[in-house]
Amino acid sequence: MTALLTLNNISKKFFTEEIETKAISGINLIINKGEYISLSGQSGCGKSTLLSLLGLLDSPTSGEYHLNGTDVSLMTRDQRAKIRSEQIGFIFQSFNLISDLTVFENVMLPLTYQTGIDKKVIEEKVSSVLEKVEMLHRKNHFPSQLSGGQQQRVAVARALVNDPTIILADEPTGNLDSKNAEAVLALLDKLHQEGATICMVTHDPASAKRADRCLEMFDGRLISDQQNIRVNKPIELVAS
Amino acid sequence: MPIIIDIKYAIRLLFKSPKFTAMTLMVLVGGLSISLFTFSFLYSTLYKDLPLPEGDTALSISAMINGDYSLLTPYEFAHLKSEQTVLEEFGVYDDKNYRLSFGDAGKNIPGSNVDEGFFRFSRTSPLLGRTIVKEDMQVGATAVAVISFQVWQNELAASEEVLNETLVVNDVVTEIIGVMPEGYRFPGTAKIWLPLSDDDLNLAADAGNYFYSYGRIKAAGEHAQALLELNSLLDNIYQQNVALYDLEKGKKSLQLLTFPFAQTGGEGTIIFAFLNAIAWMILLLACINVGNLLLARSIERQKETAIRAALGATNKRLISQLMWEGIIITTLGGVLSVLLVGAALHYTNIILHSWMPDGMVFWWQWGMDRETIVMAIIFTLATIFLSSFLPAWRSANQDINSTLRDGTRGAQSKKAGRLSRFLVTTQVFLVAILMLIGAMSAFISLKFINLDLGDDYTNVMTARINLPVGKYPEPEQKIAFYQNLLEELKSHPKVVDVVTNNWMGESELTMDNMDYPSDYEKPKVDVIGTMGKTSTIGVNLLEGRYISHLDKEGSRKIAMISQSMAKRYWPGESVLGKYFKVEINGENEKLFIIAVVTDRLNPRTILGKIDSADEIYISGFQFSNNFQAVYYRIHGDLAQTEEIFYQALFKADRNLDLFYPVQPAMKNRSLMRDVMSLVSNLTFSTGFFALLLALVGIYGLTANSVAQRTHEIGIRRAVGATDKNIVQMFLKQGRAQLIRGLGLALVLFALLAFAFNKFSESMFPVYLYAVLALTVVVGLSCVVMLAIYAPTRRAVKMEPSSALRYE
Ligand SMILES: Nc1ncnc2c1ncn2[C@@H]1O[C@H](COP(=O)(O)OP(=O)(O)OP(=O)(O)O)[C@@H](O)[C@H]1O
Ligand SMILES: [Mg+2]
């Protein structure tokens, strides 16, 4: 297996009104291509912060981060944006939909920032992901007209629309009932089977079990890193 | 109690963001001050009642013939007075310039010849002595005068014995019979009042004398009816005389206006409306900006408002709470502008009075007054309504539910966005119009200021004389008078040269070898009657000889032509001895060219090139005229050189009034330039201020809309938007607004320009309007785009993760 992400002694500090918050302190982590990782830990321990560092939404205060073997700190802002639009799908803890755009337009957003995609292709892709999350019938609604769970599913659709190689999900099922949650998790499973690398923050031990590797954080540090023996792991993947 | 809490809260908010508060206040004070100043200045100039007892009913009566301004003749007045039933205190006066002589020195002062009812009409008693009575007007009565407080103080050293003293007025020893109270200069600028003589009043209908008249309408409020009766009487009298004396055909009617209104020629309303419209546009602009800034704040607090509403606050409470901030800041702005405008009016008053110490009518006093305060309150209330109430009302009426449940921003943000887009568009439109108007008038003024008139007035003194027709009926008499005067003047050792000029306007030119399809097609020249040497005023000889007294009636009719004319019709040829025909006083006169002189700017091409129109100078000895402007050039400085003229004048005719007093020829011109440069500076700074307002407004709006969309920017960047994508998105939205605003403005400007071009008879070439419009469009576009670019640029610098946390 090849290392997709390499974190080397990564730290992140926040400075607000002269108070320093150390959200991440000295994390070393390697994530391989095709891995399905769950990340858990108590509230405020730095999970979301770590995820946004992984997703290039933020830069670490210190330490090295290599993505596909490239030092991220050497990338220009545009290169990072390009990676975000082409390779990363982000599902936020709070859905982060744009309220002035319809469901369809929200999902379409990542594709509009890629160059050279045909309009028809875009439409097909968006429709197909909306179909997957069963939101196609609401495609012309605005986010404020949807329930929390529905908004989350739209957010998931948006994360999937660009066929990302890395999916970063921050409690994707936090707002969903068990049926909807299962649907989203099944979706992630399927994407994983198709080769996507997934990193999912979750509080729910049952969800965590679906991943092949469980990370646990405490106060900005990684305190446990365990391989999961997955019960329902497809045979062919075990073989590979 | 709740109100006090709200006010406290509002004050805390204002202090919390001092930069925002200062900016809002600045915009407000600017907008309010400009509109308030414009209003107050024009109102005082045009509409204020005459500051005399019962001044509001005192009417200035003038006449119109076929729509042209005219006055009553003594004959018409006498008949009208005896026949009419609607006016009381109907009388006449005549504005004059008087020369006070003190030995060798002297002084010009404005004065009036008045009848015995005049002072009663003005409801003012003399401070000392008496005013003019019927006996003073009788032929052969002792020469008497009533003087103003100022003349008493300055010319007579406030002498206690003033009533036993005399003044030499126009070379006549005159007894002082009374002194008027301080500040009294009725009917306008008078400093001395002499009786009209019965001789002046009992003139035949064709005497060609005219008087101003005054009166009051008996039955208050029956203005229209009174006018109807007077007009029919007057027209009757006029029509009889038209037949008898071959006067101008047409209808003669009266105009009854208040004195202040009459002063501006009755056309004040248009100016008042136009300038106030511009000032209000600026106020509106200020309101939009203040409203916007406050709206931005209320949107920021939309969630807070929704929470308050959810907790049970009533609409009224919410509106009041949101409004206090606006009320406090607007009221403060109102008070500051009243102070500022008060100071500005005070200085304007001083400056204008120092420019024209004698020329200002006495009721033109500018300063803070009741009307201005009332207007300030109205403006402030309007501003509060437009910029505080509307946004607060809007914000309080939002849909609480959707605001609270919307994860990102209020669901109203779409509506708010539309509103602010509309406001930016309006803003761009208003600024474009103001800038175009400002640029145009600044350009016109500038052109006036830097005009090359083609003459040279240094060391030149001028006076204007209009010989009374009754006294000088024959051409020989007129010519003899002016010839005498010129010779007297010339004989003075300090005088270099003298000339008279009489612009007769433009006439049709006929060339022998040309075909003209119609008279309309014939070229025009400006005709100037002259006696003496035109080099006195810098119109120099290039070829040939000057007009002399030998070019008189009976000898060959001659003309000097301008260089431009020689080049136009006889390029490369010598023109001396050639001839052409010009219509003068209704006759097509054949004139032989005796000289070519330098070009001069014609009044009708005042904004064109100096050689774009032609002039000819004809002999004043062949074509006589009552009216002449007399110029004389002096060796050395001009101090004390007025007396030279008066001495000469009194020798030529002791009892002649000057149409316009003696003064340096430059004086009016520099005054005009001063006024023009003031106008140009004013319009320019108004346009500039409008631009500044718009900049602040557009910047504030954009910065705010960008700030509001920080979260959205975070999302967009998280899903892969580059910095360029974001900046482009904002620029694109800005561009749409810009195009809409500018497009509208351009359409309106095109209409305005078209109208102006027609009205000004194509004073400017058409491309100039295009250049002007293009400059404004390009300039404004750059400014707006920059105002969008800068805050957007700053917003994208933020890490997406922080932007996402932004609420
Ligand atoms: N932009 C920021 N400024 C200041 N402090 C921050 C910022 N972002 C995160 N923090 C702090 O860093 C710490 C980690 O935050 P983070 O959001 O990563 O926690 P989390 O593990 O995702 O918690 P939860 O499970 O509740 O979502 C917290 O103490 C938080 O207050
Ligand atoms: Mg979190």
What local confidence, expressed as pLDDT, does residue B398 receive? 62
Does B626 score more than 70 pLDDT?
Answer: yes
**Beta-carbon pairs below 8 A across chains A and B:** 94
User: Confidence class of residue B50 from pLDDT cuts 50, 70 and 90?
Assistant: confident
- 714-743 in chain B: CB under 8 A from chain A: 714-725
Domain residue ranges in chain A: 3-227
Which two three-digit tokens encode residue B761? 């008879």
- What are the backbone dihedrals phi and psi of residue A54, each rounded to the nearest 5 degrees, phi first? -60, -40
Atom of ligand 1 nearest to the CA of B805: 1
User: Confidence class of residue B223 from pLDDT cuts 50, 70 and 90?
Assistant: confident
Average per-residue pLDDT for chain B? 81
* 8 Å CB contact of B715 and A55: no
User: Confidence class of residue B242 from pLDDT cuts 50, 70 and 90?
Assistant: confident
Please name the fold of domain A3-227. Rossmann fold (3.40.50)
Assess contact for A30 and A6: CB atoms under 8 A.
yes
Give the span between the Cα atoms of B18 and B21, in whole angstroms: 5
Residue of A nearest to B406 (CA): A144
Ligand 1 proximity of B802 Cβ (cutoff 6 Å): yes
User: Confidence class of residue A21 from pLDDT cuts 50, 70 and 90?
Assistant: confident
User: Confidence class of residue B373 from pLDDT cuts 50, 70 and 90?
Assistant: very high
Q: What is the mean pLDDT of residues B238-250?
A: 80
**Cβ neighbours of B717 in A, within 8 Å:** 57, 81, 84
Counting residues of chain A whose pLDDT is more than 90, the rounded percentage is 25
- What are the backbone dihedrals phi and psi of residue B561, each rounded to the nearest 5 degrees, phi first? -120, 160
Q: Which of B256, B718, B464 minimizes the C-alpha distance to A51? A: B718
Q: What is the mean pLDDT of residues B203-231?
A: 81
What local confidence, expressed as pLDDT, does residue B607 receive? 55
For residue A171, report the distance from its CA to the centre of ligand 2, in Å.
8
What local confidence, expressed as pLDDT, does residue B414 receive? 58
What local confidence, expressed as pLDDT, does residue B377 receive? 93
Does B574 score more than 90 pLDDT?
Answer: no
Residue of A nearest to B399 (CA): A144
Does A236 score more than 50 pLDDT?
Answer: no
Does B267 score more than 90 pLDDT?
Answer: no
What local confidence, expressed as pLDDT, does residue B730 receive? 84
Residue of A nearest to B709 (CA): A98
**Cβ neighbours of B715 in A, within 8 Å:** 96-98, 109
Ligand 1 proximity of A175 Cβ (cutoff 6 Å): no
- Report how far apart, in Å, the C-alpha atoms of A240 and of each of A165, A195, B272, B351 are: 18, 12, 90, 96
Give the span between the Cα atoms of B625 and B604, in whole angstroms: 22
**Cβ neighbours of B410 in A, within 8 Å:** 99
Most confident of the following: B421-435, B671-685, B709-723: B709-723
**Cβ neighbours of A96 in B, within 8 Å:** 407-408, 711, 714-715, 718, 804
Lowest average pLDDT, out of B147-156, B344-353, B378-387, B596-605, goes to B596-605
Tell me the shortest Cα–Cα distance from B698 to chain A, in angstroms.
22
Lowest average pLDDT, out of A230-239, B552-561, B625-634, B686-695, goes to A230-239
Tell me the per-residue pLDDT of B507-545, one tens digit each, with 9 for 90 and over. Answer: 888 887 777 777 667 788 889 999 999 888 888 888 899
What local confidence, expressed as pLDDT, does residue B226 receive? 85
What local confidence, expressed as pLDDT, does residue B338 receive? 94
Q: Is A85 on the interface with B (CB under 8 A)?
A: yes
Q: Is B413 on the interface with A (CB under 8 A)?
A: yes
Does A36 score more than 70 pLDDT?
Answer: yes
Counting residues of chain B whose pLDDT is more than 90, the rounded percentage is 10
User: Confidence class of residue B776 from pLDDT cuts 50, 70 and 90?
Assistant: confident
Residue of B nearest to A161 (CA): B719
CA-CA-CA-CA dihedral for B110, B116, B121, B123, to nearest 10:
90
What local confidence, expressed as pLDDT, does residue B302 receive? 67
* 8 Å CB contact of A98 and B801: no
- How many helical (H) and strand (E) elements, i.e. helices and strands, does chain B have? 24, 21
Assess contact for B413 and B395: CB atoms under 8 A.
no
What local confidence, expressed as pLDDT, does residue B609 receive? 65
3-state secondary structure of B521: helix
For residue B403, report the distance from its CA to the centre of ligand 2, in Å.
23
Assess contact for A143 and A97: CB atoms under 8 A.
yes
Lowest average pLDDT, out of B182-191, B408-417, B775-784, goes to B408-417
Q: Which residue has the higher pLDDT, B628 or B762?
A: B628
Most confident of the following: A136-150, A222-236, B254-268, B412-426: A136-150
Which two three-digit tokens encode residue B771? 């250049």
Q: Is the dihedral of CA B582, B587, B590, B592 positive or negative?
A: negative
Atom of ligand 1 nearest to the CA of A217: 21
Q: What is the mean pLDDT of residues B251-256?
A: 86
SS3 content of chain A, % helix, strand, coil (to 5): 40, 30, 35
pTM: 0.64
Q: Which residue has the higher pLDDT, B557 or B452?
A: B557
B522: left (phi over 0), alpha (psi -120 to 50) or beta: beta
Tell me the per-residue pLDDT of B459-497, one tens digit each, with 9 for 90 and over. Answer: 888 888 888 777 788 888 889 999 999 999 999 888 889
- Please name the residue ranges forming H helices in A64-177: 77-87, 103-112, 119-132, 148-160
